[in-house]
Amino acid sequence: MIVIMKPSATTANIASVSARIEHFGCRVHLSEGEEHTIIGVIGDVRAIDREQLERMEGVERTVRIQKPFKLAGRDFHPQDTVFTINGKSVGGKQLIIMAGPCAVEGRESLLETAEAVKESGAHVLRGGAFKPRTSPYSFQGLGEEGLRILAEARAQTGLPVITEVMAPEQVPLVASYADILQIGARNMQNYALLHAVGESHHPVMLKRGMMSTIEELLMSAEYILSHGNERVMLCERGIRTFETYTRNTLDINAVPLLKQLTHLPVIVDPSHGTGKWELVAPVSRAAIAAGADGLIIEVHPRPDEAMSDGGQSLKPKRFTELIVSLQPIAEAVGRTVCE
């Protein structure tokens, strides 16, 4: 860390900041510029509270030198994290494609979709049993009944299942049915929930909040990792910007940037990232070309009857066409869709 003192800082101010730093076991390196004195902090700065230093007299601001994420960062974990889910590898050469309806709406409909997406080449079945909805009057999901239907679809198709968990006390229940726990965008900074999934032994997919920076996403991953769960995937699902033509703005830069900053697998959700089914296929292709490790895509047999998010769902036929179109792009970047 570096502390930039104000031009008006006194010798006493500098001495007092230095003393505070040394109190935490770090060493100090002074550098006097023409206008500002700069105090370099040497040692393990994690013990020092930057904000505290920033409000000491004579301090203009502090600058962090080290990255705040240690477990999630690549600096001390240079090799890619690769793990398997029911025999499917995530983070390796093989891309992982997750597909299914936004919400589980009923047994027959889900079984039909599960068969269809398996047929098209998907590796994981998605479907929400607990649904976060902006309005208290909207369909909130089937709850445990939805989980049971997902488990039945898994038994029938062999596809592992990913579904959202919305509260710490739901973790054991959801983990008893699902293979991957999904943390939704609205809960990316629900720290009680991150703590709970960090202590579970299930793989987690952590979605980026629509208002969250890359660094905040990695800090939320750090919560999960620091509680002992190392099987974490990150998911870019679009951020909120001033543009209103699309529901969200998919941050394609985040894909190669995350691949640089972290060893964790990076999944892209083009359904939420665009909000329009017509854009799902080209943006899926873009995500793979940019280096994503997988996709999570909403597929519904009859999108115009879907109970939520149908506007961004693909019909199974279009999903199949998309999967086919992904293969040459995957190959162009040294990956593969189908084993």
Query: Which of the residues 87 through 116 are near a copy of itself (CB under 8 A)?
Result: none
Q: Which of 25, 172, 228, 256 binds a copy of itself (CB under 8 A)?
A: 256
Strand order in the sheet with 37-42: 27-32, 37-42, 2-5, 59-63
Told to check if 338 binds a copy of itself by CB under 8 A, we report no
Nearer to a copy of itself, 32 or 119 (CB): 32
Q: How many CB atoms lie within 10 A of CB 49?
A: 13
Q: Which long-range contacts (CB under 8 A, 24 or more apart) does 318-323 make?
A: 318/277, 318/281, 319/99, 319/116, 319/117, 319/120, 319/122, 320/119, 320/120, 320/121, 321/281, 322/280, 322/281, 322/284, 322/297, 323/97, 323/120, 323/121, 323/122
Told to check if 319 binds a copy of itself by CB under 8 A, we report no
Half-sphere exposure of 320 (CA within 13 A, CB side): 11
Told to check if 22 binds a copy of itself by CB under 8 A, we report no
Q: Please state the closest distance from residue 20 (CB atom) to a copy of itself, in A.
A: 9
Told to check if 267 binds a copy of itself by CB under 8 A, we report no
Listed ranges 65-73, 89-97, 112-120, 149-157: which one lies at the site for a copy of itself (CB under 8 A): 65-73
Q: Which of 227, 212, 229, 213 is nearest to 264 (CA)?
A: 229
Task: Draw the binding track, 193-232, toward a copy of itself (x: CB under 8 A; -: no contact).
Answer: x---------------xxxxxxxx--x--xx--xx-----
Q: Which of 12, 282, 336, 338 binds a copy of itself (CB under 8 A)?
A: 282
Told to check if 306 binds a copy of itself by CB under 8 A, we report yes
Told to check if 151 binds a copy of itself by CB under 8 A, we report no
Told to check if 311 binds a copy of itself by CB under 8 A, we report yes
